[in-house]
Amino acid sequence: LSVFICAILLGMIIVNLLGSLFWWTIDLNSVSAINLTMAIGLVIDYSAHVLHFFGTQPSSKSKKERVILTMQEMGPPVLLGACTTFLGVIPLGFASNTIFRTFFRQFVTIVFVGCSHGLVLLPVMLARFGPTIERSSDEKSKAAAVV
């Protein structure tokens, strides 16, 4: 179920990024296509950390509690990663070259859309539709022996 949620989220992000090409008046050419391809890796990174941490939470907690723990633990690092990516491309916004400006516009959109989907929409989807973790009886006995 987590992979399905991630695939839906990725599809939504790609549609948003394609729509942003029109908003920024960027033609779909080799430069913008390469940026869109690189965007897949960046936006998956924002979502994958949240999904993975959500999946490793104890099964004794509700989905809402697991989302809260996930956002407390993974929210700041993911947001920091988005901010550093944004800071890294700011100089390109002042370039006179069209390719660099295109790169800047697309990356600003990639960071904003990817981060907002990974830190706002994904937690809501996980709290509502996220997978429940069921432990086998062997795992339960091991957990009880540790306590």
82 pLDDT higher than 60: yes
What confidence tier does 132 reach under pLDDT thresholds 50, 70, 90? Answer: confident
CA 86 → CA 5, 26, 72, 73, 131, distances in Å?
Answer: 26, 19, 22, 21, 32
**What is d(CA 41, CA 61) in angstroms, rounded to the nearest whole number?**
31
What confidence tier does 1 reach under pLDDT thresholds 50, 70, 90? Answer: confident
Q: Residue 32: what pLDDT? A: 93
Chain centroid, CA 46 distance in Å: 3
What confidence tier does 86 reach under pLDDT thresholds 50, 70, 90? Answer: very high
Q: Per residue in 14-54, pLDDT tens?
A: 999 999 999 999 999 999 999 999 999 999 999 999 999 99
What confidence tier does 142 reach under pLDDT thresholds 50, 70, 90? Answer: low
